[in-house]
Structure 1
Amino acid sequence: LQGQPPALFKPQLVRLLGTAQLTLLHAVLALKAAFGEALFTAQDEALLLRRLTLAAQHPALPTPTHLFHLHCLLSFPENWPLGPEGEEAAPLLLRPQLCQGLLPSLLHDPMSLLARLYLLCLLCMEDKEEEEKGQVPSPRQYLEELLAGLRQRAALAGSPQALATLCFQASYLVAHCLAGQPAVLTPLIQGLAQLYRARPVLAPHFVDLLDRVGPELGEPLRVALRQEVVSRPGRDEALRWHLQIVAKVADGDAQSATLSFLQAAAAHCTGWDLQQALLRVCRALLRAGGGGGLADLLQALVRQLEDPDGRDHARLYYILLAHLARPKLGVALGPSLAAPALASSLVAENQGFVASLMVQEAPAPMRLSVGPRGVKGPLPVLQLQVEPLEPVYSLELRFRVEGQLYAPMEAVHLPCLCPGRPARPLLLPLQPRRPAPAWLDVHALYTTPAGLTCHAHLPPLFVNFSNLFLPFPQPLEGAGPGFFEELWDSCLPKGAESRVWCPLGLQGLEALVSCHLEPFVVASQPPTSYHVAIRLPPDSKLLLRLEAAQTDGVPVALRTDDWAVLPLAGDYLRGLSATV
Structure 2
Amino acid sequence: MLALKAAFGEALFTAQDEALLLRRLTLAGPHPALPLTIHLFYLHCLLNFPENWPLGPTDEEAAPLLLGSQLCRGLLPRLLPEPMALLARLHPLCLLCVGDEEKEEKGQDRSPRHYLEELLAGLRQRAALDGGPRALATLCFQASYLVAHCLAGEPVVLTPLTQGLAQLYRTRPALAPHFVDLLDQVGPELQEPLRVALRQEVVSRPGREEAGRWHLQMLARVADGDAPRATLSLLRAAATHCTDWGLQQALLRVCRALLRAGGGGGLADLLEALARQLEDADGQDHARLYYILLAHRAGPKLGVALGPSLAAPALASSLVAENQGFAAALMVQEAPAPVRLSVGPRRGEGPVPVLRLQGEGLEPVYSLELRFRVEGQVYAPLGAVHVPCLCPGRPTRPLLLPLQPRRPAPARLTVRALYTTPSGLTCHTHLPPLLVTFADLFLPFPRPPEGAQLDFFEELWGSCLPKGTESRLWGPLRPGGLEALGSHHLEPLVVVAQPPVSYLIAIRMPRDSRVVLRLEATQSDGVPVALRTDNWAVLPLAGDYLRGLSADG
**Both proteins in one fold, TM over 0.5:** yes
Shift in alpha-carbon separation, 1:112–1:211, aligned structure 2, 3 A: same
Match of 1:110 in 2: 83
Distance 2:271 2:124 in 1: 38
Name 1:495's counterpart in structure 2: none
**Which residue of structure 2 lines up, in the alignment, with residue 334 of structure 1?**
307
Report the counterpart of residue 144 of structure 1 in structure 2.
117
Once residues 32 and 302 of structure 1 are traced to their aligned partners in structure 2, the CA distance between those partners, rounded to angstroms, is 70
Q: Report the 3-state secondary structure (helix = DSSP H, G, I; strand = E; otherwise coil) of the residue aligned with 2:104.
A: coil
* Structure 1 residues 176 and 81: alpha-carbon distance in aligned structure 2, compared to 1, 3 A threshold: closer
* Counterpart-to-counterpart distance in 1, 2:81 and 2:260: 44
Could you say which residue in structure 2 is the equivalent of 1:509? none
Which of the residues 180, 190, 199 maps onto 2:172? 199
Whichever residue aligns with residue 272 of structure 1, its letter is W
Tell me if the contact between 1:73 and 1:91 (Cα under 8 Å) persists in the aligned partners. Answer: no
1:355 and 2:335 equivalent? Answer: yes
Out of 153, 158, 183, which is 1:185 matched to?
158
C-alpha distance in 2, partners of 1:71/1:48?
14
Q: For residues 269 and 205 of structure 1, what CA distance do their matches in structure 2 show?
A: 23
Name 1:561's counterpart in structure 2. none
How far, CA to CA, are the matches of 2:221 and 2:198 in structure 1? Answer: 10
Alignment-derived partner of residue 537 in structure 1: none
Q: Which one of the candidate residues 75, 80, 85 is aligned to 2:48?
A: 75
Structure 2 residue 295 is matched with structure 1 residue 322: yes
1:209 aligns with 2:182: yes
AA in 2 matched with 1:281: V
Alignment partner, residue 40 of structure 1: 13
How far residue 342 of structure 1 moved from its aligned partner, in angstroms, is: 6.2
The equivalences for 1:434-513 within 5 A come to none
Instruction: Give how far 1:130 is off.
Output: 2.8
Deviations 1:153-203 (A, max 9, x none): 000111100000000000011011111111101100110011001100000
Does 2:38 correspond to 1:65? yes
> In structure 2, the residue corresponding to 1:60 is in which secondary structure?
coil
Q: Which amino acid aligns with 1:329?
A: L
Amino acid at match of 2:165: L
CA offsets 1:454-490 (integer angstroms, 9 cap, x no match): xxxxxxxxxxxxxxxxxxxxxxxxxxxxxxxxxxxxx
Instruction: Judge conservation of contact 1:175–1:213 (CA < 8 Å) in 2.
Output: yes
Q: CA deviation at 1:137?
A: 1.5
Residues 141-162 of structure 1: per-residue CA shift (max 9 Å, x gap): 0000000000000001111000
Q: Distance in 2 between matches of 1:287 and 1:81?
A: 40
Q: Distance in 2 between matches of 1:324 and 1:244?
A: 26
Check conservation: 1:320, 1:329, Cα contact below 8 A. Answer: yes
TM-superposed CA distance for 1:120, in Å, is 0.5
Q: Is the 8 A contact 1:147 1:170 kept in 2?
A: yes
Shift of 1:125: 1.3
CA distance in 1: counterparts of 2:216 and 2:43, whole angstroms = 42
Structure 1 counterpart of 2:74 = 101
CA contact (8 A) 1:36 1:79 kept: no
Q: Secondary structure of 1:237's partner?
A: helix
What secondary structure does 2:334 align onto? Answer: helix
Contact 1:301–1:314 at 8 Å: present in 2 too?
yes
Partner Cα distance (2:272, 2:54) in 1: 65
Considering only CA atoms, is the larger Rg found in Structure 1 or Structure 2? 1
The yes-or-no answer on 1:268 pairing with 2:241 is yes
Q: In structure 1, what is the equivalent of residue 372 of structure 2?
A: none
Identity of paired residues, percent?
77
| Structure 2: 5+ residue stretches without partners | 315-320, 341-362, 365-391, 394-420, 428-553
CA-CA distance at 1:33 after TM superposition: 1.4
How well do the aligned residues superpose, as a CA RMSD in angstroms? 3.4
Q: Which residue of 2 aligns with 1:300?
A: 273
- Give me the whole-angstrom Cα distance separating, in 2, the residues matched to 1:49 and 1:303: 70
Aligned residues: 341
Residue identity in the other structure for 1:56: G
For residue 81 of structure 1, report the CA deviation from its aligned partner.
8.4
In 2, Cα distance between equivalents of 1:65 and 1:312:
59
Of 236, 243, 263 in structure 1, the residue corresponding to residue 209 of structure 2 is 236
For the 8 Å contact 2:5–2:50, the answer to whether it is kept is: yes
* Uncovered stretches (5+) of structure 1, i.e. residues with no partner: 1-27, 361-393, 396-410, 413-446, 453-580
Preserved CA contact (<8 Å) 2:148 2:158: yes
Closer, same or farther in 2 for the Cα pair 1:266/1:80, shift >3 Å? closer
Q: In the superposition, relative to structure 1, how do residues 62 and 357 fare at CA in structure 2: closer, same or farther (>3 Å)?
A: closer
Partner of 1:130: 103
Pairwise CA distance, 1:303: 1.4
Structure 2 partner of 1:560: none
Q: How far 1:136 moved relative to its partner?
A: 4.4
1:219 to 192, 199, 217: 192
3-state SS of paired residue (2:250):
helix
Counterpart of 1:78 in 2: which secondary structure? helix
Q: Is the 8 A contact 2:128 2:172 kept in 1?
A: yes
SS of structure 1 residue aligned to 2:42: helix
Moved more, 340-349 or 231-240: 340-349
**Contact kept in structure 1, 2:29 and 2:43, CA below 8 Å:** yes
Matches within 5 A, 1:78-93: 78=51, 83=56, 91-93=64-66
2:114 corresponds to 1:156: no
1:9-68 residue CA offsets vs partner (Å, 9 max, x unmatched): xxxxxxxxxxxxxxxxxxx22221121100101111111110111111111111111111
Shift of 1:131: 3.0
- Aligned residue number for residue 8 of structure 1: none
Does the 8 A contact of 1:234 with 1:261 survive in 2?
Answer: no
